[in-house]
């Protein structure tokens, strides 16, 4: 089981704090955005006297409201197509267990969310990476490259759209290209769409569940964590019109009994969040992204891809080992007693030796903090020695 590239540096950060340093956390996708009051109030004002189990697939009222939310986003499904999970993480684990056997393969564009490897490891499934490049702004690789990787063991292609850690947003055309290949080779198409609300520069999100004629092949993953700044709720879901998949996933859901009751109450209430909330949050992230990219581009030797979605970017640094650099920032460097915590990008690749000089930055801090954080990186690079 691999270490988390995001969390493995926590002991060094804790020691830095004990030493009196202030840390700008660019390492983890924990937004500083306030959780919608409607969600918090639903828990605070609840009159439950017995905190009982919910249904294994999640409460019916929540799933019905979720189905209405998706319909608003051009996705026509029934609440029976939804299984509520303990975060999107559990949804991924359930899917790998449901559609793949030991030594089966899933093709995933890298860099990808690091825990995909962990879930694959737990299921004894092999991740087959297909590399996207910073010079191409991490665009979807050519379909021909996917074709080369398909074997009799291949069971699925998996994407994250918009992407973590790249912020890349796949277009409708790119999603339809993937649809053609999975149908041609009788594969599943899994799409992690937890950042669907965060798209920029006039771009819009296109879900795999908007595809026609792909009901048996498509599985969508979602979560409340980022959309409503409710990471601690640990509520996600998987959605598929393939009844066999849903019934198989339900067996895994029954084994863990049920998703958390209070968190579902909060998540159901969060669906009443007004559009003005999302408009304000999106504008905030656009401004943060623009600030971050502008400041990074001022540093000699740094290359950065411009994200069109989510709230992450990958930056390539003039260093040999970003893991060592990230640890050194916490242990040995500060500017006016302030330093930065970043996520080394090598942990978002499964191909050995790739991404060693890259970091992932989560722009979840205010613009003033982002400017200060990038300045610390700039000053650090002036004195750092590999």
What distances in angstroms separate CA 229 from CA 37, 113, 175, 187, 283, one per listed residue? Answer: 11, 18, 27, 33, 15
Alpha carbons 129 and 135: distance in angstroms, whole number: 18
Is pLDDT of 30 > 90?
A: no
Average pLDDT score over residue span 23-37: 93
Residue 315 · residue 359 · CB < 8 Å: yes
Sketch the domain layout of the chain as residue ranges: 10-34+276-383, 37-270
Q: From 3.10.510.20, 3.90.1150.10, 3.20.20.70, 3.40.640.10, which CATH number describes the 37-270 domain?
A: 3.40.640.10
Categorise residue 355: left if φ over 0, alpha if ψ from -120 to 50, beta otherwise. Answer: left
The pLDDT score that the predictor gives to residue 74 is: 94
Alpha carbons 6 and 346: distance in angstroms, whole number: 11
Query: Angle at Cα 58 formed by Cα 272 and Cα 224, nearest 5°?
Result: 45
Domain 10-34+276-383 indexed as CATH 3.40.50.720:
no
pLDDT digits (tens, 9 = 90+) for 250-277: 999 999 999 999 999 999 999 999 999 9
What is the pLDDT confidence band of residue 217, given thresholds at 50, 70 and 90?
A: very high
What is the pLDDT confidence band of residue 220, given thresholds at 50, 70 and 90?
A: very high
Please provide the distance, in angstroms rounded to a whole number, between the alpha carbons at the two ends of the chain: 28
Is pLDDT of 32 > 80?
A: yes
What is the pLDDT confidence band of residue 78, given thresholds at 50, 70 and 90?
A: very high
pLDDT digits (tens, 9 = 90+) for 91-138: 999 999 999 999 999 999 999 999 999 999 999 999 999 999 999 999
Mean pLDDT of the chain: 96
The pLDDT score that the predictor gives to residue 371 is: 97
The pLDDT score that the predictor gives to residue 35 is: 96
Average pLDDT score over residue span 305-323: 96
What is the pLDDT confidence band of residue 386, given thresholds at 50, 70 and 90?
A: confident
Alpha carbons 386 and 382: distance in angstroms, whole number: 12
To which residue do tokens 């209405």 refer?
68
Average pLDDT score over residue span 80-97: 97
Is pLDDT of 6 > 90?
A: no
Average pLDDT score over residue span 13-39: 94
Is pLDDT of 236 > 80?
A: yes
Alpha carbons 309 and 282: distance in angstroms, whole number: 10
Average pLDDT score over residue span 353-364: 95
CB burial of 5-28 (b: ≥16 within 10 Å; e: otherwise) equals bbebbeebbeebeeeebebbbbbb
The pLDDT score that the predictor gives to residue 3 is: 77
Q: Based on C-alpha coordinates, what's the Rg of the chain?
A: 21
Is pLDDT of 326 > 90?
A: yes
pTM to 2 decimal places: 0.95
């Amino acid at each position: 089981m691999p270490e988390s590239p995001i969390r493995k540096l926590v002991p060094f950060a804790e020691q830095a704090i004990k030493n009196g340093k202030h840390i700008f956390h660019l390492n983890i996708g924990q937004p500083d955005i306030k959780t919608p009051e409607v969600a918090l109030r639903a828990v605070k004002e609840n009159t439950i006297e017995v905190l009982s189990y919910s249904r294994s697939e999640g409460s019916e009222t929540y799933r019905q409201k979720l189905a209405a939310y998706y319909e608003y986003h051009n996705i026509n499904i029934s609440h029976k197509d939804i299984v509520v999970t303990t975060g999107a993480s559990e949804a991924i684990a359930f899917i790998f267990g449901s559609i793949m056997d030991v030594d089966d393969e899933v093709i995933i564009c890298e860099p990808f969310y690091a825990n995909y490897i962990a879930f694959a490891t737990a299921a004894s499934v092999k991740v087959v990476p297909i590399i996207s490049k910073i010079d191409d702004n991490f665009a979807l690789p050519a379909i021909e490259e996917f074709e080369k990787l398909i074997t009799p063991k291949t069971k699925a292609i998996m994407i994250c759209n918009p992407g973590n850690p790249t912020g890349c947003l796949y277009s409708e055309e790119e999603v339809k290209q993937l649809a053609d290949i999975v149908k041609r080779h009788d594969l599943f198409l899994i799409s992690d769409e937890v950042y669907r609300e965060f798209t920029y520069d006039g771009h819009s999100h296109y879900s795999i569940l908007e595809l026609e004629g792909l009901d048996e092949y498509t599985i969508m993953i979602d979560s409340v964590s980022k959309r409503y700044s409710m990471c601690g709720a640990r509520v996600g879901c998987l959605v598929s019109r393939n009844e066999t998949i849903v019934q198989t996933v339900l067996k895994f859901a029954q084994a863990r009994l049920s998703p958390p009751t209070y968190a579902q109450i909060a998540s159901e209430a969060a669906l009443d969040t007004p559009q003005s909330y999302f408009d304000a949050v999106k504008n905030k992230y656009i401004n943060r992204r623009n600030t971050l990219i502008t400041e990074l581009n001022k540093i000699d030797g740094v290359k950065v891809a411009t994200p069109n979605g989510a709230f992450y970017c990958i930056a390539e640094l003039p260093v040999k080992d970003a893991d060592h650099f990230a640890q050194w920032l916490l242990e040995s460097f500060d500017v006016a007693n302030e330093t930065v915590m970043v996520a080394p990008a090598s942990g978002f690749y499964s191909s050995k030796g790739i991404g060693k000089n890259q970091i992932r930055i989560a722009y979840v801090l205010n613009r003033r903090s982002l400017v200060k954080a990038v300045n610390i990186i700039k000053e650090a690079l002036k004195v750092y020695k590999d």
